Chains A and B, each alone.
Chain A
Amino acid sequence: MDRMEARNPLVPVKVPGMLHEERESKCEPQRSEGKSSVGVAQVRRGPFHPGGNVRRCAGYRTAGRFLCYCRTQQAGFWYLSQGTESGMVEKYLNPAVRAEHIPSAMALSCGCENCLLGGGTTPHSPLCWRTPRRFWKISGEQDFSCGSGLTVNRMPSELDKKSKKQRQSLLEKVKVKSGRETGSAEKTRENIYIRVLRRGAGSHPSHIVKRTRFWTQNEARIGSRHQRAELELLPREEKKYVSRFWKEIHVGDFVRLRCNEIVPADILLLSSSDPDGLCHIETANLDGETNLKRRQVVRGFSDLVSEFNPLTFTSVIECEKPNNDLTRFRGCITHSSGEKAGLRTENLLLRGCTVRNTEAVAGIVVYAGHETKALLNNSGPRYKRSQLERQMNVDVLWCVLLLLCMSLFSAIGHGLWVRRHQEKKALFAVPESDGSSSSPVTAAVYSFLTMIIVLQVLIPISLYVSIEIVKVCQVYFINQDLDLYDEETDSRLQCRALNITEDLGQIQYIFSDKTGTLTENKMVFRRCTVSGVEYSHDANAQRLARYQEADSEEEEMAPQRGSWSRRGSTGSHQSVRVVHRTQSTKSHRHSGSRAEAKWASVLSRHTAFSSPMEKDVTPDPQLLEKVRECGRCLAMARHQEQPLGRLSPELSDIFDFFVALTVCNTVVVTSPDQPRQKVRVRFELKSPVKTIEDFLRRFTPSRLASVSSSTGSLATAKCSHKSGSGFLSSLSSDSTFLKLQERLGQPAPSVSSNGYSSQAESWAPEHKPEPEQCQDAELRYEAESPDEAALVYAARAYSCVLVDRLPDQVSVELPHLGRLSFELLHTLGFDATRKRMSVVIRHPLTGEISVYTKGADSALMDLLLPCSSEDARGRHQKRIRSKTQRFLNLYALQGLRTLCIAKRVLSKEEYACWLQGHLAAESALDNREELLFQSALRLETDLHLLGATGIEDRLQDGVPETISKLRQAGLHIWVLTGDKQETAVNIAHACRLLGHDEEIITLNAESQEACAALLEQSLQYARSRAPCSTPEKTEGNIPVGFFPLCSASKPATTAASGPSLSLVVDGRSLAYALEKNLEDKFLFLAKQCRSVLCCRSTPLQKSMVVKLVRSKLKAMTLAIGDGANDVSMIQVADVGVGISGQEGMQAVMASDVAVPKFRYLERLLIVHGHWCYSRLANMVLYFFYKNTMFVGLLFWFQFFCGFSASAMIDQWYLIFFNLLFSSLPQLVTGVLDKDVPAGTLLAEPQLYRSGQKMEESWPRAFWLNMVDAAFQSLVCFFIPYLAYYDSDVDMFTWGTPVTAIALLTFLLHLGIETKTWTWLNWTACGFSVLLFLMVALIYNSACAACYPPSNPYWTMQTLLRDPVFYLTCLIAPVTALLPRLFFKALQGSLFPTQLQLGHQLTKKCCETLKTPKETFAQGHLSGESQTELSQGSPANPSECLARDCASQASQHTQQPPACSPEASGKPSAVDTSVPLRENSLLGPLGPSTPGEAVSGECPGHLQRTPLGPGQAAPLSLFSLPSFGSLGWVSSLSAVSGLGSILRFSRSNLHVAKRDGKLLPGPPQPEQALSGSQRPATDS
């Protein structure tokens, strides 16, 4: 009886070992007494061979006792699964088998109950069996035997008492330990208590969790969280739940959870307080989605009349092995009656979820601890190592090699030296202690080892530490960037990965999702077509346009939004004005309608997809009228008890259409006042049809008569088999609802603007308008996908309001008809293969069973009822269909997401027939998915097309600009989307991914062979690049409306430069193309193309594409996405970027960087990526340089000390040199240095290419760097050597100046490499020198007889009085750095020549092209960026602008002349005439520019100032105010320093040009649409 107590002591076994021993000693005497079993003795004594088939024994020895757990392959007793991983098996080994209850082998083979709940020990160590059970086991209360198959368990009563006492004391301990307050609800995982009702051992033969049928009464435990204190006192018979730690939960435990508690393990839901047997959970911890998801009680338990009683649970559960598939769970439960029921994902509460909206649930644990799906999924992030780090590691290896070489050289040298001096008995030779001189070989070996230690500075251990520090700081700065902060969502960019910041500067390929990434993922209902009639929803379009206007207004206010800072800059002369402007912008935001919308969205952030923009739909008056009419007819029909057949086909279609919109979804209705309170309005209690009997019962003719409208007549009739509560609720349904409405609070003024509410009042006077409005305003829809929500909101605009959704019924508020309850018979959820979802409902008015299907047009159009053209109806249908198809194409062309709505009416017989199959499929154990799929296919045929909807997904702000910028930066952008081709292509056009004058190669292949052929052709074409003949093979496949765009661009593409290619691939072709034999071709083709668009791609394909590019092209990849479908791609890419947008947090959680919007990518990559990379690359190079140079000094000295490995630099200096003296400046530089200012980088994205090319130039840069280091060390060694040659200097007095020289050289070198000097740099450098001096002075005066061998007493002090010290310290660094400076200067004037010329060239072109961006770019580069700026003598306006840009964002448009006066005002040293002339040109041009700027083309539009041919003058060297503007420089010295040369690529020019032309592009489809629209509406 007491066993159970012993088994479940309320003890957190945190340190099992300790506790053991404590108990061990106490219980020792009793144990021996209790052990009379033969088996135990066997175990104790020796090797154990039950079946002769022992595979492995694990022993565990405590205090003289040996516990042995063995696993045999098929022993009668120690059953263990075969083929399981050994780690698992180890875990399954349960030392604490309650064998006395379990006569059979199966029971003994334990479940996963011991599997390290929340623990972290290794499964292999015996200590991992650290459950409380072992605890009592060891104490002797229970024992197990093996081999004999018999278990004897003796529990002396006194022992029991004793252990009880111990437990009591332990209990106290626990309380103190965890500091818990009784009754308070802890949330932390460790402390949370759950009510556990433990049962007998779970068995676990071969990965099927089976419930044993037997369990003992005394195992039911008593107590609850609040009664923990009297836990021990309660009589065991009461059998209550007790509180337990999470880690104590084992498989087979019964767990009861209350609302808002976190599920501790994977629990099979057996009971719920919800009368429907439902449990709502929030999976935010798993996937970040905050909408409620529904879980169902296992069938069989939901029908239990009384409360679930674990004591009577006798079923056996079988389920699959623990796996990491969150969306799949299969198994079956066998009840004691022999009845079997399938288990599904809907029955499983996953660990980590939160129970919501449900008072209490109970269930049985099927997976616990590390076997839960959540933890199995948690494979840990892929460790990403940045490319730079990889290169660096190679270099470190080189350094090791160098070290070895040096040591070896030195050792050989020493050996030779010793041999030479061996016989001489030189005075200075130090013999061995026995007087003999050491042999050369021994001496060499010692020297080698000593050298390794002396020269180990060469291995830059501190480099890794420094890099980490720098990266942390970089991440901090990125996180802090105000320009990456999104005010709308109050979120800022988060760098979640610390170690790959510099990869951001090397990206070559960007893989982007479309929906939610490029677009806002705010699905807005735009238009629809019903029964072949298009309702264009013009008002709706206008409303949306208003949002757009608000946007563009804002854009006017801040044209450079997203590019440059919006805030005032400290150094700017305009700062006052700037601040003012910023404020005005803000106030505008607050007052504007858009702003309201934003704020609303901020407010309602916790409910997805419910921004006002999405919620408010302005109904089309025509359609509204029809809906009303339809409602009126139906109401009339109902009153007159007439069948509904009187409705015209169109009206009935409309009616069905809206019913489908409302019903055919999985939207959960909640009320915002109590956000997680489900609105419960029950009219009757029914569950979805679960059995045939149920069906028969429900669909008897007598039932049909009773129309289930708003009264509970049916419910009363049916309630007999339902619980009382349901009965009550159904009886009081109406009143409940009214109460609810009252409870919902004051009827707030309708937020749903745009006249809907007024209309609603006008047409529905007979209804209580107020509560209804209130309802509309207050009800909130939580949808899994934004499309669903958009459709429900759209239906609501037509006053078809989804009021409530229960598993078995949907309540809809219809015009004139009032509230209707549709009996929901089945919901066939959406899946990617079917691309549609269906609901089966019973119509409340007609009683007929209908199927409403909603899905992609491609999926639905083929499933329609074949219509004969004979009868009129068929012809009508046909016409409708063709019209709808046309509209669908039109929608797709507009970039709308289309959905088709269809209906099917089932006869009872058909339904019964289908139901039978479906039920069989549902309960099938094998192949269930497949069967369900087939079943769904059977249902979704012969559909009757109702109509289609067009949902708009707007482009995010700044996407086209960002894309063009990224393009200029040399990034290839691939869009991988699941959308259909037409939509994707359109969006691609809209965001200028595809230029309108681009050739588009479309790969739509039906088979592998076709795909191969297509690829071959395309390749040939791409190679030949013949004048545009749009690839013939694509023509057949190019969809209507899309082709003309391409052909229209033909003439343009014949230009000499040739058009760039784009590739569009659909999912199926992609699958073929990704096959092993084709992937190379595909990749080659894709490489030729400027952009690649993959449509209809699955998440797996996305990741495969990324992987392919990453592995084959060896390119740095970045994947950006927002949804769960992008997770795999994000994880595979070198850098994964998640958009913390609308669709949950899954992508963000998988990502390395989370950005609020796509447009922030521009700044992230171009500015921060570049900075991070250049900073880190420079720092790494510097580090190598530093170490090599320092080690060089020591090495050269070996030539003068007989290679005896002595160091002239004091040991402490050697230690501190890297650690203290020279570390800070490089850190500061590594963190803060900006080789190019942000403004310039943004204006000239080409600069980004330096990072991409760095990879190739890295080895060269590295070795040059090393050579320089060697040279410098030579200089720094030999200058002091020669200076002190032939003097009486001693070794360490000479070593100190060498150290000082090295330090000064390092600092000066760093000074050359540092581009921006802030006070921090100065401080750090000063600090370094001072620190060295101080340390040296203090150290050298600290102790006269210490620190052997240097014994540096008063050395520094003496040196400071020695002029030679200063002289050498001056000349050595100067000489050492002279070549570097010289070559840097030379490079600045020679290599950038090409760069300069390129920019000159493009400048000229841009004059004619009038592409402002390019001019700007050249202005910058030729003007050598900021050099003159900092010197205050702007040579041309671009520089002045550059400064402005860098400092202040949004001012240019408003104040075009702002910078020109400044430019003219600046004194120019030599020739002021040039700038003046420019200003005079600029003046009149200024005002004209804002207009262009509004187009959003380029923030730096001002630069567009045409420079006349004479303007070349500013670039000639000595006529310039600034000498340097010619580019002596290294404006890109980071770049040039690393030996890479920036070239201006001509292709950029084309891009820009095209972009410029593209501007008027987008209206094109609009026109086409309006053209085709007219005939459509006419008909």
Chain B
Amino acid sequence: MKGIPEHHLSRMPDNTAMKQQNLPAYQLRFSATVVLSIFFGTGVFCLCMGVILILSVKSTKKIEINYTKICSNCAQLRENAFNFDKECICSIPFYLPEKMEGNVYMYYKLSGFYQNLYRYIQSRSNNQLVGEALRDVEDCAPFKVSHHGTPIVPCGAIANSMFNDTIILSYKLNSSMHITVPMLKNGLTWWTDKYVKFQNPSFNNFSSKFAGSTKPPYWPKPIYDLDRNNVENNGFLNDDFIVWMRTAAFPTFKKLYRRLYRIHYFTEGLPAGNYSFNISYNFPVTRFHGEKSVVLSTLTWCGGGGFFLGVAYTVTGALTWLASFALMAVHLMWKKKKIAYQKKSYALRRKTENRNGQ
């Protein structure tokens, strides 16, 4: 009987930490210390970050001019589609009170323009844009082919609705002297967009590349005429086109249009003074109550965005501090109450005990 071999206990579970759920574990408990330190720590961090962000955003300069109304005559002209070939140039003078240092970027800003519609964002052909198959217009409905059956290049709703105002910034050097501020058309896009995602088809003759295709219905000129001066900026590789094709997330958005070419007067940025935008008004927005603006802005390390992030950090930090103080207060109050209650209940209990004892 004694010599029972151990294997009789064959069903004995293994005594391992895993199987016995005894893995060494750190117990995360929200004790007062932990909670309060978390709150205070977070608060300090957020406040610091908030201050830093606000300060850095403050250093940026930004000027935004809404030209929807200013150029209302042009807008009215554009409301009628028959006037599509009539040129309308609108000049908007403005005064730049402070010098804009560093890299200055020019954006156009649209509001009320929904680039994120479900069917809108799908209406594009990446294969076409990458220069591989011009005839691949499958995804581009309803802007796939022209009446003649030739494929639209670039096809799709996104390309069709491309922003086509021309904005020229001119600097009033003095009362009579206007010079055009030199702007760069390149470097507006992501590098990968320009060199990977968008490629012109490889043919010898540039315009023959796009032979047998039709321009999008809303476009005044075909794709290979976007920038005749610069082959690198023409066709699918046109920076404005690429920028437009990156569909904006929200109905109000701005897109990079030009960046300052820092030469001559503008090596340090835009000097203060009188400027004017000369806008060739082509893009109709009033039909859908949209608005157009042009924005000049500088950037910092955290982008040119508004104060929101800084404010968010600050507010969160402040809230965290508030919360921790509230917790502390509750804690202290509760302690007092508890002790009082304790005494009372103890006395009560003693009484009952005594009664029971008798």
Cα distance A1522–B342 when bound, in Å? Answer: 20
Cα distance A68–B130 when bound, in Å? Answer: 67
Cα distance A1291–B251 when bound, in Å? Answer: 10
Of B284, B288, B306, B352, which contacts A1056 at CB under 8 A? B352
Cα distance A1290–B244 when bound, in Å? Answer: 10
Binary CB contact string for chain A from 1370 to 1394 against chain B (1 if under 8 A, 0 otherwise): 1100110010011011101110010
B118, A1206: Cβ atoms closer than 8 Å:
yes
The reply on B14 being an interface residue by CB < 8 A is yes
Of A600, A1202, A1353, A1375, which contacts B197 at CB under 8 A? A1353
Binary CB contact string for chain B from 330 to 358 against chain A (1 if under 8 A, 0 otherwise): 11101101110110011001101101100
Of A425, A600, A1234, which contacts B287 at CB under 8 A? A425
Cα distance A1055–B358 when bound, in Å? Answer: 10
B27, A1430: Cβ atoms closer than 8 Å:
yes
Cα distance A1284–B352 when bound, in Å? Answer: 67
Given contacts A570-B24, A1291-B115, 4 further A-B contacts (CB under 8 A): A490-B8, A1057-B356, A1364-B302, A1404-B349
Contacts of B132 in A (CB 8 A): 1345
A1430, B29: Cβ atoms closer than 8 Å:
yes
Binary CB contact string for chain B from 108 to 129 against chain A (1 if under 8 A, 0 otherwise): 0100011111111111101101
User: From residue 1493 to 1547 of chain A, which have CB atoms closer than 8 A to chain B?
Assistant: 1509, 1512, 1515-1517, 1522-1526, 1528-1531, 1533
Of B25, B33, B306, which contacts A1318 at CB under 8 A? B25
Of B86-94, B165-173, B207-215, B316-324, the one touching chain A: B316-324
Of B118, B139, B253, B287, which contacts A1204 at CB under 8 A? B118
The reply on B177 being an interface residue by CB < 8 A is no
The reply on B254 being an interface residue by CB < 8 A is yes
Contacts of B342 in A (CB 8 A): 1397, 1400-1401, 1404, 1512
A1344, B130: Cβ atoms closer than 8 Å:
yes
A1516, B339: Cβ atoms closer than 8 Å:
yes
A485, B122: Cβ atoms closer than 8 Å:
no
* B148 nearest CB across to chain A (Å): 16
A433, B142: Cβ atoms closer than 8 Å:
yes
The reply on A567 being an interface residue by CB < 8 A is yes
* A1525 nearest CB across to chain B (Å): 7
Cα distance A219–B345 when bound, in Å? Answer: 92
Binary CB contact string for chain A from 423 to 442 against chain B (1 if under 8 A, 0 otherwise): 01111111111110000000
In the complex formed, the residue of A with least CB distance to B243 is A1288
The number of chain A residues with a CB under 8 A from chain B is: 130
* B165 nearest CB across to chain A (Å): 12
Of B14, B53, B218, B330, which contacts A1389 at CB under 8 A? B330
Residues of B within 8 A of A (CB): 1-2, 4, 8-15, 17, 19-36, 38-39, 42, 46, 49, 53, 107, 109, 113-124, 126-127, 129-130, 132, 139, 141-142, 157, 160-161, 190, 192-193, 196-197, 218, 243, 246-256, 283-285, 287-290, 301-306, 308-309, 312-313, 316, 319-320, 323, 326-327, 330-332, 334-335, 337-339, 341-342, 345-346, 349-350, 352-353, 355-356
Contacts of B319 in A (CB 8 A): 1378
Contacts of B323 in A (CB 8 A): 1378, 1382
Cα distance A1056–B196 when bound, in Å? Answer: 87
The reply on A830 being an interface residue by CB < 8 A is no
B20, A482: Cβ atoms closer than 8 Å:
yes
* B23 nearest CB across to chain A (Å): 4
Contacts of B29 in A (CB 8 A): 1315, 1424-1427, 1430, 1524, 1529-1531, 1533
The reply on A853 being an interface residue by CB < 8 A is no
A1286, B349: Cβ atoms closer than 8 Å:
no
* A1270 nearest CB across to chain B (Å): 19
* A96 nearest CB across to chain B (Å): 49
A1316, B25: Cβ atoms closer than 8 Å:
yes
B161, A1282: Cβ atoms closer than 8 Å:
no
In the complex formed, the residue of A with least CB distance to B295 is A1286
Contacts of A432 in B (CB 8 A): 142
The reply on A1311 being an interface residue by CB < 8 A is yes
A1282, B35: Cβ atoms closer than 8 Å:
no
Contacts of A1204 in B (CB 8 A): 114, 116-120
B309, A1397: Cβ atoms closer than 8 Å:
no
Contacts of A640 in B (CB 8 A): none
- Give me 23 A-to-B residue pairs in the complex whose CB atoms sit less than 8 angstroms apart, sorted by A's number: A424-B287, A450-B118, A1055-B356, A1201-B117, A1202-B117, A1289-B248, A1290-B247, A1291-B115, A1315-B28, A1345-B129, A1364-B305, A1364-B309, A1371-B309, A1378-B319, A1389-B331, A1389-B334, A1393-B338, A1400-B338, A1426-B29, A1429-B27, A1515-B338, A1522-B33, A1528-B34
B312, A1371: Cβ atoms closer than 8 Å:
yes
A1202, B287: Cβ atoms closer than 8 Å:
no
Of A429, A1284, A1354, which contacts B192 at CB under 8 A? A1354
Contacts of B355 in A (CB 8 A): 1056
In the complex formed, the residue of B with least CB distance to A489 is B11
Contacts of A1056 in B (CB 8 A): 352, 355-356
* A1508 nearest CB across to chain B (Å): 12
B126, A1345: Cβ atoms closer than 8 Å:
yes
In the complex formed, the residue of A with least CB distance to B121 is A1349
CB within 8 Å for A485 and B118 given contacts A1315-B28, A1390-B330: no
Of B22, B113, B197, B305, which contacts A570 at CB under 8 A? B22
Cα distance A1315–B38 when bound, in Å? Answer: 17
B13, A492: Cβ atoms closer than 8 Å:
yes
8 pairs of A and B residues whose beta carbons are closest in the complex: A1524-B31, A426-B288, A1523-B33, A1345-B126, A1316-B25, A1206-B118, A1528-B32, A1427-B29
The reply on A1348 being an interface residue by CB < 8 A is yes
CB within 8 Å for A1517 and B32 given contacts A428-B114, A1426-B27: yes
The reply on A479 being an interface residue by CB < 8 A is yes
A1201, B122: Cβ atoms closer than 8 Å:
no
B4, A1287: Cβ atoms closer than 8 Å:
no
Cα distance A70–B153 when bound, in Å? Answer: 71
Of A434, A477, A602, A1283, which contacts B312 at CB under 8 A? A1283
* A733 nearest CB across to chain B (Å): 35
B115, A428: Cβ atoms closer than 8 Å:
yes
Cα distance A1368–B28 when bound, in Å? Answer: 26
User: From residue 384 to 442 of chain A, which have CB atoms closer than 8 A to chain B?
Assistant: 421, 424-435
Cα distance A52–B133 when bound, in Å? Answer: 74
B142, A1367: Cβ atoms closer than 8 Å:
no
In the complex formed, the residue of A with least CB distance to B304 is A1287
User: From residue 579 to 610 of chain A, which have CB atoms closer than 8 A to chain B?
Assistant: 590-591, 596, 599-600, 602-603
The reply on A110 being an interface residue by CB < 8 A is no
Cα distance A590–B8 when bound, in Å? Answer: 13
CB within 8 Å for A1528 and B197 given contacts A450-B118, A485-B13: no
Contacts of B36 in A (CB 8 A): 1523
* A684 nearest CB across to chain B (Å): 39
B316, A1378: Cβ atoms closer than 8 Å:
yes
A1285, B117: Cβ atoms closer than 8 Å:
no
Cα distance A590–B3 when bound, in Å? Answer: 9
Binary CB contact string for chain A from 1341 to 1376 against chain B (1 if under 8 A, 0 otherwise): 000111011010110001000111001101100110
Of B157, B288, B352, B356, which contacts A421 at CB under 8 A? B288
Contacts of A1208 in B (CB 8 A): 116, 249
Contacts of B304 in A (CB 8 A): 1287
In the complex formed, the residue of A with least CB distance to B9 is A490
The reply on A1331 being an interface residue by CB < 8 A is no
Contacts of B26 in A (CB 8 A): 1316-1318, 1430
Contacts of A1315 in B (CB 8 A): 27-29
Cα distance A1396–B25 when bound, in Å? Answer: 26
In the complex formed, the residue of A with least CB distance to B25 is A1316
A1320, B23: Cβ atoms closer than 8 Å:
yes
A1348, B139: Cβ atoms closer than 8 Å:
yes
A1427, B338: Cβ atoms closer than 8 Å:
no
A1386, B327: Cβ atoms closer than 8 Å:
yes
Cα distance A603–B1 when bound, in Å? Answer: 8
Cα distance A1516–B319 when bound, in Å? Answer: 28
* B154 nearest CB across to chain A (Å): 13
